[in-house]
Amino acid sequence: MLGSFLIIVRREVLLAVRHPMDVVMPLLFFLLVVSLFPLGLGGQGGQLRDLAPAVLWVAALLATLLSLPRLFAQDHADGTLDQWVFNGDALPMMVLGKLAAHWLLCGLPLALLAPLYAVQFRLGTASACTLAAGLLLGTPVLSCLGAVGAALTLGARGGGVLLALLVLPLYVPVLIFGAGAARDGAAAASGPALLLLGAMFAAAAGLAPWATGAALRIALE
């Protein structure tokens, strides 16, 4: 099982190296969104600080959503997914490998870039660090929830729109607690929000591979 997990992670990273635009596009989207807001607000420090956590979290959420339709599409097209489903016992571990690779290629870069771009929002150091911690806990949850939606809409006409309709309501608690933690970071009141994000992460990591595996079986029937 562990060998299958590592093989999947390595395969996904190698595919990303060969097709870098699949990884770069969500990151470029994130950078464009967070760069346009300060320009639109005209550099007003108070408004920028107030809006920074929400803007950075919404941009990270949408960038993650942008990368989800391709999560299983290539494996579905070349028949790899059928082999995974046929080898049923290993399917959750293989899905976990896909989720880990997706987070490494999308969620982790977003979590590392966000505190750097928090500077242009004039966000304090404590809040920027809390923002990074929240994204490190929250982006895996976004990947896990998004994987279930991507599996359910696999091969469907207009799958991207259906995926957004399915996943965005599930993202709301992550957005609320993630942005709230960054907003309260300077006041040292972010602990409960980060603990809730950690609990969401633990629950999603434990349940999402099984739920995604079941959704993939339904999609391929």
Question: What pLDDT is attached to residue 188?
Answer: 56
pTM for the model stands at: 0.89
> CA–CA separation, 213 vs 221, rounded Å?
13
Question: What pLDDT is attached to residue 77?
Answer: 79
Q: Contact 130/185 with Cβ under 8 angstroms?
A: yes
Query: Who's near 5: CB < 8 A, 6+ residues apart?
Result: 93, 94, 96, 97, 100
Question: What pLDDT is attached to residue 192?
Answer: 84
- The parts of the chain modelled with pLDDT lower than 50 are none
